[in-house]
């Protein structure tokens, strides 16, 4: 019984980190109104200012003339089914998560400074959010875990055109994170903030652009968010640095290395093609490294302009980040090897089987293929509307010997961009 309660407690804590997207813990421009229709492909060249604010900041130099203002949101609807056979921990159960609808807002502004004598300098600011959760409270035998993590992000930075061909950019991000979890009425929550930076460059060779960026980790420390159970079993609380009667961990969204290429030489310059590769270093990311492996993402996107309309298609492949072949013995998560049971009734160890159970209930991360489409239309000389739709077909996987998962997702986004010269 204790094993069953522990597993659900762990699940309640950590399910939220990656259910919004195949891209681990960051959405990487896949939820922007226009760029979402191109599967997020935008590292070497963009189709909207927000993609430079939240992606490669060197692309801000595409918007040197005047001001652009973007406002939009994307609706996500993942479907997650988990089947646990009860052979390793707890009892058998199966069901769907009820945490299946999320809205990701986006606001972005670019401002060229040519009017005050800085022709090659462009500023960019933006606000967005990412997050997800799980909810198995109405599933018999699951002990009702639910949890959620949301990170609100504010970006500010600049792009500078060094030569006719070379641009560079730097973007700073502050992330304000909120995490909460509950189990059979026992709940906890925590919040904090962290900082990261993105340094990028682009180089134009005729109709072809190449680009790349480095993004530093985003570390947010959540303190005292669940008991480790020492007080419940009458054992003195460890006195080592960072130890207390509760879990306190730095959750670190990983550093990223990204490269991309874009070309608009076809169809009289009306067809833009993009290809991106992003590498996410989960093995070096505190906390996440205990259950995620390094991830590589490939994205392809295209935009065809016909008169006032833009037509977009995209495809992405993101290797699922679930870490495999875990040690079945005591492995822990973060700085923690024990967890308190609900009602202060005791504590139990965090084993490989427990972590596999968590990974299974975090099943949205298993889908690897996404297909997208979108359209934009110039309503007025200064106003454009963009929309996109994306679909990740259902995929199945076994995580550990006792867990089967199946997941799919669809998303739809809409936004408006105003351009002032």
Tens of pLDDT, residue by residue over 388-408, are 999 999 988 888 888 888 888
The answer to whether the CB of 179 falls within 8 A of the CB of 225 is yes
Which has more pLDDT, 252 or 14?
252
**What is the value of pTM for the model shown?**
0.88
Which has more pLDDT, 250 or 285?
285
pLDDT at position 113, please?
Answer: 96
Measured CA to CA, the distance from residue 411 to residue 101 in angstroms comes to: 10
Interval 89-138: pLDDT, tens:
667 888 888 877 888 999 999 999 998 999 999 999 999 988 777 777 77
**Angle, to 10 degrees, between the axis of helix 352-361 and the axis of helix 2-14?**
50
* Residue 243 clears pLDDT 70, i.e. is over it: no
pLDDT at position 126, please?
Answer: 97
pLDDT at position 129, please?
Answer: 86
pLDDT at position 23, please?
Answer: 64
> Of the ranges 246-250, 317-321, 328-332, 377-381, which is most confident?
377-381
Measured CA to CA, the distance from residue 269 to residue 273 in angstroms comes to: 10
Q: Residue 255, SS3?
A: coil
Domain covering 2-420 in this structure, CATH number? 2.40.160.60
Domain boundaries, the chain: 2-420
Bridge pairing between strands 271-280 and 256-266: antiparallel
Q: What tokens were used for 400?
A: 């550990």
Q: What are the E-state strand segments in 114-242?
A: 118-135, 145-161, 166-183, 186-205, 208-215, 218-222
pLDDT at position 280, please?
Answer: 95
* Residue 157 clears pLDDT 70, i.e. is over it: yes
Query: In a 10 Å sphere around its CB, with 0-12 CB exposed, 13-18 middle and 19+ buried, how is residue 205 labelled?
Result: exposed
């Amino acid at each position: 019984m204790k094993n069953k309660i522990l597993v659900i407690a762990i699940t309640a804590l950590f399910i939220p980190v990656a259910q919004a997207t195949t891209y681990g813990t960051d959405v990487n421009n896949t939820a922007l109104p226009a760029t979402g229709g191109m599967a997020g492909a935008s590292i070497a060249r963009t189709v909207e200012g927000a993609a430079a604010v939240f992606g490669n900041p060197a692309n801000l130099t595409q918007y040197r003339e005047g001001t652009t203002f973007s406002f939009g949101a994307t609706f996500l609807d993942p479907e997650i089914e988990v089947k646990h056979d009860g052979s390793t921990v707890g009892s058998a159960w199966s069901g769907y998560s009820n945490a299946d609808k999320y809205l990701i807002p986006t606001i972005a502004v670019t401002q060229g400074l040519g009017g005050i004598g800085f022709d090659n300098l462009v500023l960019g600011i933006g606000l967005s959010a990412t997050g997800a959760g799980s909810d198995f409270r109405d599933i018999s035998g699951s002990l009702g875990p639910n949890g959620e993590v949301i990170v609100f992000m504010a970006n500010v930075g600049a792009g500078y055109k060094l030569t006719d061909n070379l641009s560079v950019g730097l973007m700073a991000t502050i992330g304000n994170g909120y995490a909460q979890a509950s189990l059979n009425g026992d709940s906890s929550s925590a919040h904090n903030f962290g900082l990261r930076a993105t340094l990028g460059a682009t180089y134009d060779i005729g109709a072809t652009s190449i680009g790349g960026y480095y993004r530093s980790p985003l570390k947010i420390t959540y303190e005292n968010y669940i008991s480790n159970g020492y007080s419940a079993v009458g054992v003195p609380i460890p006195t080592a640095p960072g130890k207390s009667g509760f879990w306190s961990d730095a959750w670190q969204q990983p550093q990223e290395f990204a490269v991309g290429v874009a070309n608009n030489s076809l169809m009289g310059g009306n067809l833009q093609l993009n290809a991106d590769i992003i590498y996410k270093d989960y093995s070096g990311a505190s906390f996440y490294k205990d259950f995620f492996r390094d991830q590589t993402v490939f994205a392809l996107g295209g935009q065809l302009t016909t008169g006032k309309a833009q037509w977009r298609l995209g495809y992405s492949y993101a290797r699922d980040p679930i870490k495999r072949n875990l040690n079945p013995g005591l492995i822990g998560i973060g700085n923690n090897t024990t967890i308190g049971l609900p009602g202060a009734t005791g504590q139990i160890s965090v084993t490989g089987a427990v972590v596999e159970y968590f990974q299974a209930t975090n099943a949205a991360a298993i889908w690897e293929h996404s297909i997208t489409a979108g359209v934009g239309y110039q309503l007025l000389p200064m106003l454009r509307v963009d929309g996109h739709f994306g679909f990740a077909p259902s995929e199945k996987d076994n995580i550990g010997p006792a867990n089967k998962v199946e997941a799919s997702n669809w998303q739809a986004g809409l936004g408006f961009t105003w351009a002032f010269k």
